[in-house]
Amino acid sequence: MKTLVLVAHPKEQDSLTQAFLKQALTFGNQDIKRRVLSDTQVDGFLAQDEMQDVLQAERIIFQFPLYWYSAPANLHQWLADSLITPYKEKMSAKELGLVVSTGRPESEFALGKKQGYSLSELLRPFAAIADNLGMRMLPYFVIPQFEYQTDKQHQQLLIDYLQYLELPRDHSFSQREEWFINRLAQLTKNKDESHYQQTLSMISQQIAERGERLTELKDEVAMIKNIEEGDL
C-alpha cells in the first residue's frame, strides 16, 4: 500500500516529535513517502504540483500538532488550494488518517475534563472532508506529550506509528502479530548497537509468546465448544 504522510507544522525543523517520526520512517517500508508542507507559501499552493503524490497514494496521512484545537493554518491552506476540480474527484476510495500530537495529556480531552472536548469532536471536520471526497476515514493516531514520554514509551510509539501507516484498516490480530515479529526481526539484523538489538529481541520474543498464547486460547475455546456440543 502506497502511503503519503503530509506534515503540517509551523516549526517542523524544531519539533522533537516530528524529528522522531521522521527517523521512524527509516524503519518503514519503501511505499511510505513523507512531505512537509511549506509554512511560507505566500501565494498559496499549486494544486497541479501538490496533487501528484496524493493521487499516487492509496492512504493519505495528515500529520500535525493540535494547534488552537485544530490543525495549523498551512494545512487548511493546502486543503483549500489543492482539493479542487479535477483533483478532488479522484480522491474517492482512498484512505485518510490523522497523526496528531498534543501538548496536553490525552485524558484531558473529554467532556467534563480540563479541555472540555474530545479529540473525536475536535477532529470531526476531517471526517466531513473525507465523506465529501468519498474517502475512508481511519481512526486518529494521537501522540500525547512526546517530550515527557520515556524511552520505553518511545519504542512502543515507533512500532505503533509504523503499524498505523502500514497495516490494513481492518487488520486482524494475527496480521498485527505477524507484522510485529517480521519487522522487529528485520530491525534486529540491521542495527549494530548491541543494547538496541537486545531490546528489539526482547520485544519480539514477548510478541511471539503472545501469539503462541493466542493460539492456545483458540484451541481451548474450540475444545470447550466441542464438549458443549457433545463432540467429545
Taking alpha carbons only, the member of 66, 63, 49 closest to residue 20 is 63
Total Cβ atoms within 10 A of residue 78: 22
Q: Please give the model's pTM, rounded to 2 decimal places.
A: 0.81
pLDDT tens digits along 101-144: 999 999 999 988 898 899 999 999 999 999 999 999 999 999 99
Task: Yes or no: say if 37 and 54 are a contact pair by the CB < 8 Å rule.
Answer: no
Task: Tell which wins on pLDDT, 108 or 199.
Answer: 108
Q: Apex CA 127: angle with CA 124 and CA 131, to 5°?
A: 145
pLDDT, position 212:
66
Q: What is the mean pLDDT of residues 4-19?
A: 94
Which of 11-25, 31-45, 121-135 has the largest mean confidence? 121-135
Whether 196 shows a pLDDT value over 90: the answer reads no
Task: Yes or no: say if 15 and 9 are a contact pair by the CB < 8 Å rule.
Answer: yes
Taking alpha carbons only, the member of 36, 2, 38, 1 closest to residue 21 is 36
The DSSP symbol for 67 reads B
pLDDT, position 84:
95
- The strand pairing partners of 131, in sequence order, are none
pLDDT band at 195 (very low <50, low <70, confident <90, very high): very low
Whole-number mean pLDDT of the chain? 86
Q: What is the mean pLDDT of residues 140-168?
A: 92
The DSSP symbol for 117 reads S
pLDDT tens digits along 78-97: 999 999 999 999 999 999 99
Q: What is the mean pLDDT of residues 31-44?
A: 86
Task: Yes or no: say if 100 and 145 are a contact pair by the CB < 8 Å rule.
Answer: no
